[in-house]
C-alpha cells in the first residue's frame, strides 16, 4: 500500500488503519478548472495524485487525498504568506465553513474508488491579536484555510458537524470501510 502524500498528518492518520504502507508523494500540479465545486475539486485532485503514483507502481494499492476549505463555494487553499493567512482567518472568524477531503483509492487490480467527505466547522469570532498570534506561531502556513484543528487551531474552533479526521485531511473511518470492502486490509 502506498500513500501518495507528503503530509505528516495523513501519514499519522493512515497509521490508524494499517502500519503496512510506504509513502511516495505525488508531485503534480494542483490546478483545477475555474468554477469547479469544492467537492469536485478535491475528487479531481485526489484522482490525479493517485494516478501519478499508480502509473509507476501498478499492482499496489494507492491512496491519495486532497483537502480544501470552502465558504459559499469559494475555495480557500493554503496561504501564500503570513499576510494571506491572516486574511483567511479574518474571513473565517465567527463563520461556518466546510472542509472537503477527496480520496482516491486505486486497488491492485486497477479499479478505483473516489469519494469526498464534507465536515462543517464553526469558528469563534477572532480578534486581530488572536489572529496575529496564531499566524506568528507558524502553524497556519501549510494548511488549507490557514489552520490546523489538531494543533493550536483547536482554540479557534467552536464546533464541528461531521468527521473530525476529515478536517485533519483524511476521513479514516470511510477510508477504512472502503479498504475492507475490497479486501485490501
Active site positions, annotated: 66
Q: Which three cell numbers stand for residue 87?
A: 486574511
* Cα–Cα nearest to 90, from 122, 118, 125: 125
Q: Is 73 exposed, middle or buried (0-12, 13-18, 19+ CB in 10 A)?
A: exposed
Amino acid at each position: 500500500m502506498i500513500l501518495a502524500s507528503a503530509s505528516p498528518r495523513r501519514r499519522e492518520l493512515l497509521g490508524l488503519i494499517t502500519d503496512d504502507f510506504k509513502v511516495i508523494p505525488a508531485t503534480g500540479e494542483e490546478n483545477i478548472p475555474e468554477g469547479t465545486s469544492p467537492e469536485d475539486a478535491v475528487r479531481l485532485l485526489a484522482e490525479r495524485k493517485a494516478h501519478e503514483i499508480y502509473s509507476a507502481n501498478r499492482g499496489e494499492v494507492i491512496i491519495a487525498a486532497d483537502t480544501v476549505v470552502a465558504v459559499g463555494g469559494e475555495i480557500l487553499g493554503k496561504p501564500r504568506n503570513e499576510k494571506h493567512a491572516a486574511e483567511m482567518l479574518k474571513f473565517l472568524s465567527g463563520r461556518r465553513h466546510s472542509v472537503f477531503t477527496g480520496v482516491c483509492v486505486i486497488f491492485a487490480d486497477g479499479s478505483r474508488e473516489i469519494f469526498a467527505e464534507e465536515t462543517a466547522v464553526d469558528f469563534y469570532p477572532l480578534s486581530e491579536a488572536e489572529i496575529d498570534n496564531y499566524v506568528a506561531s507558524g502553524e497556519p502556513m501549510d494548511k488549507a484555510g490557514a489552520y490546523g484543528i489538531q494543533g493550536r487551531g483547536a482554540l479557534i474552533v467552536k464546533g464541528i458537524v461531521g468527521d473530525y479526521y476529515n478536517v485533519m485531511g483524511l476521513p479514516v473511518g470511510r477510508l477504512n470501510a472502503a479498504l475492507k470492502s475490497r479486501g485490501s486490509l
